[in-house]
Every structure is written in C-alpha cells, then in structure tokens.
Structure 1
C-alpha cells in the first residue's frame, strides 16, 4: 500500500488540527491556526484546497459550510514520514534511524521501558 503524500510543515499543522478535532469546517481550522499565529479565513481555506488537491484531506460538501477531515489516519501518515526519512536520510537502515533518534536527546526511563517492550514484541 503506497504511503500518503508528504505534507509541508504548514500542511502538517493543519493535519494535526484535523486529527485532534475530527471533521470540521474551515472556520474551526482557521480559529485553531489563529491561536498559534496569524492566519486568515481565506488563507486557511486556500491551504485546505491545496491539501485537497494533493489528497491530504477530504471534503464533505453536503452542508452549507464544507467540512474537511484528514484523508489519512495519523498512524498511516507517521509511518509514511518515518519510512521516507529512513530511506532518504539513513539509506533504508532502521538501526541508523533509531540510533540517531536515541542519540538526539534524552530518553526517559518510561520511554526506554516502552521501547524494550516494543522490541520484545517484534518478530
């Protein structure tokens, strides 16, 4: 199954809003964006239209205000982005990716335990 298209940073902000809120009209996306930075209604609408063309979001046109939702689940997008990073930056090596991730910052004892559990469950 092919991975979803790779979103830009701005598109990823919108996808996070849609994953958190669920299907919403443009005004709700714009309000969430405006709480972090200045974003106009037309700017949010234009971003959503571009994302619709790219296949990142879907639109329900049955209501007066069109409702947008993420076209791909968060987990699918995360897997696609990590696979892309692994392939492009680490030559396809999951080991190199994990080593870089663990070396990039501190890992809490709880996170270490969860990583160990994941490795114990993988085949």
Structure 2
C-alpha cells in the first residue's frame, strides 16, 4: 500500500481492526464515544476508503458491511517508516533516543525493548 491513511481514516481502521467487519452505524457509534463526528461524515470517509482500497464492502438489502483490507501491522510499519524518513532523516536510533529521552519507560517496557534488540541481534 503506497497511500497512507489520514488520521480520520486511521481511526476508522482501528475500529474495524478491533471489532471486525462492521456497518457504518456500528463504526459511527464507536467513533462517537471519543469524538464528535456526524454519521454522514463517517459514511463519506468509509466510501472514500473503499475507493482507495483500504476497505472492502459487502452489500445486502438493508446495509453495507465494511472490512479492513489492510492489516494493522503493515499500516503501522508504513506509517513508522515514513515518519522515521521525514522526521529523523531515516535514523531509527534518533527516533528511539527522542522517545526514551522524553518518555518515562517502565521497567517492563525497557525489558521488552532489550529483548527485541537481542532478538534482532541474533537474527542478523
């Protein structure tokens, strides 16, 4: 996927990743819990996402059910890759230093990071 979802599209994808295939009404109800969004806005966004290839749409007599065509992992990887390239000139270490320098990581998070680094070290 070359195109990256917008922030609003990403919110919709999060709902679909968490809840599976859903109608516009179901997605709208979830989004409305955290922000003010009109039903027609959610509908229009999901129609655009279908046209872009982010969502599939199953049509029956009463409603349309949408499902994510892009995986959460692939989408996150693409967004992180772009972010590292644009904000940190491709330097993953600058990103990590920035995050750890301004965010109090818990002992558990630091242990998980160490484990990931050890796994990467073993694989290379």
Q: Is TM (by shorter chain) over 0.5? A: yes
Cα offsets for 1:33-53 (capped at 9, x unmatched): 111222222121101011112
- Give distance in 1, aligned partners of 2:26 and 2:57: 14
Report Cα offsets for 1:2-26 as digits up to 9, x if no partner.
x452122111111111111011111
- Corresponding residue number in structure 2 for 1:114: 112
In structure 2, relative to structure 1, the CA distance for the partners of 1:4 and 1:110 (3 Å cut) is farther
Residue 35 (str. 1) matches residue 33 (str. 2): yes
- TM-score, reference length from structure 2: 0.88
Query: Paired residue for 2:87?
Result: 89
Q: Distance in 2 between matches of 1:63 and 1:110?
A: 50
Where structure 2 has 5 or more consecutive residues not aligned to the other structure, the ranges are none
Higher relative contact order (CA 8 A, sep 6+): 1
What is the aligned length? 121
TM-score (structure 1 length as normaliser): 0.89
Matches within 5 A, 1:90-105: 90-105=88-103
Residue 45 of structure 1 pairs with residue 40 of structure 2: no
Question: Structure 1 residue 62: deviation in Å?
Answer: 4.7
Q: Tell me the C-alpha RMSD between the 2 structures.
A: 1.5
